[in-house]
Amino acid sequence: MTCDDVRAALSARLDGEDPLAAPAVLDAHAESCPGCRAWLTHAEQVTRLVRVQAVAVPDLTASVLAAVAADSLAAGRTRAAARAARRQVLRVAVAVAAVAQLAIALPVLLAGLGVTVDPHTSREMASFDVALAVGFALAAWRPERARAFVPVALVLAVCLAGTSAVDIANSTTALVHEVGHLAAVVQAGLLWALGRVSDEPDRRPSTALLARHG
């Protein structure tokens, strides 16, 4: 038998078919022929690999998607809680600024307390301060509307800062007398921050994904 004949017979035997040759003859040839022996070893390895049954792998798609959705939802809730905390702090700060401004302006407006210049001008300025204080109070109460007051507060802060700088440079007023105008700058900053944090979109993921894959 040639090597091709032996290999064909060995292949048939590996497949469970009749090799049409005596097993002893095939084994003797494989032991004496290095080429056929190597071929048989390789064929046996291939046969074992082919006959190994595939292991059933569970489908983890739903659980993986549910875990990802749960992580995203938790992260969204954390961000929302932090944003709510920042907004609450800013609301309190704006409300305190409004109360402080009212406490300073109302005595001047109603009783003329602390008026050292023209009473009429002082009352006009006090009326303006009361109006601003009411605006700040409304922004603290309804923070989603804070952005509407930001332009007024910013213009006031810029104008007061600019005129104070000019007056100090011209020696028409002292720096200590203009420190109070810093409150307008602080109020404008607080109002801007409150409007910004109140306008941030809610990025919490929908629970629909959890419902589909839960």
pLDDT at 56: 67
pLDDT at 177: 61
- Determine contact, residues 79/201, Cβ cutoff 8 Å: no
**Tens-place pLDDT, residues 142-198:** 888 888 888 888 888 888 788 878 877 887 776 666 666 677 788 888 888 888 887
Helix boundaries (H) for the chain: 3-14, 23-32, 34-51, 61-111, 119-141, 146-169, 175-178, 182-199, 208-213
Below-70 pLDDT ranges, the chain = 51-56, 112-118, 174-181, 199-214
CA dihedral 46, 52, 56, 57 (to 10 degrees): -40
Q: Which one-letter amino acid corresponds to residue 79?
A: R
pTM above the 0.75 mark? Answer: no
- Determine contact, residues 75/82, Cβ cutoff 8 Å: no
pLDDT at 214: 46
